[in-house]
Amino acid sequence: MSAVPLRNNKAVAAASRSVTVLGATGSIGDSTMDLLRASRDRYRVEALTANSNVQALASLAKEFGARFAAIADPARLGELKDALSGTRVECGAGESAVIEAAARPADWVMAAVSGAAGLKPALAAVDRGATVALANKECLVCAGDFFMQRAARAGACILPADSEHNALFQALGSGNREELVRVIITASGGPFRTWAARDIERATLAQALKHPNWSMGQKITIDSASMMNKGLEVIEASYLFTLTPDEIDVLVHPQSIIHGMVEFSDRSVVAQLGTPDMRTPIAHCLGWPDRITGPATKLDLAKIGQLTFESPDFERFPGLRLAYDALRAGGGATTVFNAANEVAVAAFIAGQIRFGAIARLVEATLQDWTRSGNLSPLSSADDAITVDQVARNRAATLLPQIASKAS
């Protein structure tokens, strides 16, 4: 049985829920806390986590009367204890404390830690059969099959919080798996959609951080500019909904109003639309299987006037092609894709490589991995973390060579 419920099941609607937010101080965390703030009587906060932002974490924990607050950086425990002194909020530090936060008995967990660090905490929530709103795409990109199998075994319910996957989740309910022809994930095209390849090559950090439609964390904004994010989403969709690469298409749609579409055998295409605001898919996950009131601006199509579409350009945005290659290669290649991209983005932010070199480093690391012939399926979180670490080391080794080579 799939861990993603493809038909709404009103029977499991909860009147009031306890919730935990992993990555509460980030961009998704912020949107989630905003929704919780608007419905305080409906939700009780069990646990909140952050990496190093003690003050924001403590302030949220106090505001929401959380039972537990965890900071991943172990050196900040003293600071967190001080910030929470005089309150009833328990606290802990280090990776184990973040995992403990996820393992505590909350009905609904938002998994919004950024990067591969989100895998173990999300698994801790999955293992106790929680309803998990999954924003952290790395859980699927790094350990997809294994993550979904473990969720199905534990009876966990995975609700896709990423806007495109949430759109597909909503549209998929219109038919059966056998009736599905393909899914279409839309992409804004990012800030470099109309740029020539030579300009993309030399794009600066400030330019990469200017997303035309969405307000998001730094890493995902850079990934949107390179379209690596769309590649990660293709991989995410494949694991979430058990789709082959050929069943997933990407369509550039600069207005970001249609987030995802599903084509069925009778040629009906069912789409989900909304203004580009992450609070809408998060509200869908938070209310599921009911619908709650969302704070996003009402969609006014007459005012928008035109919705336009383009095919993605795999030449100017090679990251998208690499994601399909990794998905087809299987056996940890998507883990390698993600790890190499994280190293490349960090190097770009640090000014060590050009924007265009991000995809080159990912490609070189993937080629290295494929040549090694090490393509057996991942069977545990530790397997995924080992491959992730090996790929990071390999990408770091290849970095100087890639940095010195201009395109």
For ligand NDP, the binding residues (CB under 6 A) are 23-29, 49-53, 72, 98, 112-115, 117, 135-138, 162, 214, 216-217, 220, 278
Which phi and psi angles does 345 have, rounded to 5°? -65, -40
Q: How near is the Cβ of 321 to ligand NDP at its closest, in Å? A: 20
Q: How near is the Cβ of 374 to ligand NDP at its closest, in Å? A: 25
Ramachandran category for residue 350: left, alpha or beta (phi over 0 → left; psi -120 to 50 → alpha): alpha
Q: How near is the Cβ of 301 to ligand NDP at its closest, in Å? A: 23
The residue to which tokens 């949220």 are assigned: 60
Q: How near is the Cβ of 259 to ligand NDP at its closest, in Å? A: 11
Cβ-based nearer residue to ligand NDP, 116 or 398: 116
Cβ-based nearer residue to ligand NDP, 264 or 279: 279
Q: Is the dihedral of CA 359, 363, 369, 373 positive or negative?
A: positive
Cβ-based nearer residue to ligand NDP, 155 or 295: 295
Cβ-based nearer residue to ligand NDP, 113 or 384: 113
Cβ-based nearer residue to ligand NDP, 80 or 156: 80
Cβ-based nearer residue to ligand NDP, 57 or 398: 57
Cα(363)–Cα(357) distance, rounded to whole angstroms?
Answer: 10
Q: Determine contact, residues 48/21, Cβ cutoff 8 Å.
A: yes
Q: Could you write out the DSSP letters of every residue in 27-74?
A: HHHHHHHHHHHHTTTTEEEEEEEESS-HHHHHHHHHHHT-SEEEES-G
Q: How near is the Cβ of 234 to ligand NDP at its closest, in Å? A: 14
Closest residue to ligand NDP, judged by C-beta, is 26
3-state secondary structure of 271: strand
Helices (H), 85-134: 95-103, 119-127
Cα(295)–Cα(394) distance, rounded to whole angstroms?
Answer: 44
Ramachandran category for residue 227: left, alpha or beta (phi over 0 → left; psi -120 to 50 → alpha): left
Kind plus residue range of the DSSP H or E element containing 363 = helix 357-372
Q: Could you write out the DSSP letters of every residue in 287-316?
A: HTTS-----SPPP-HHHH-----B---TTT
Q: How near is the Cβ of 181 to ligand NDP at its closest, in Å? A: 25
Q: How near is the Cβ of 62 to ligand NDP at its closest, in Å? A: 16
Q: Could you write out the DSSP letters of every residue in 174-191?
A: TS-GGGEEEEEEEE---T
Cβ-based nearer residue to ligand NDP, 67 or 165: 165
Q: How near is the Cβ of 51 to ligand NDP at its closest, in Å? A: 3
Cβ-based nearer residue to ligand NDP, 27 or 226: 27
Cβ-based nearer residue to ligand NDP, 26 or 175: 26
Q: How near is the Cβ of 236 to ligand NDP at its closest, in Å? A: 9
- Angle, vertex CA 354, rays to CA 336 and CA 117, nearest 5: 35
Q: How near is the Cβ of 146 to ligand NDP at its closest, in Å? A: 18
Cβ-based nearer residue to ligand NDP, 113 or 130: 113
Q: Determine contact, residues 76/55, Cβ cutoff 8 Å.
A: no
For the chain, helix, strand, coil in percent to 5 are 50, 15, 35
315: its two tokens: 């030449």
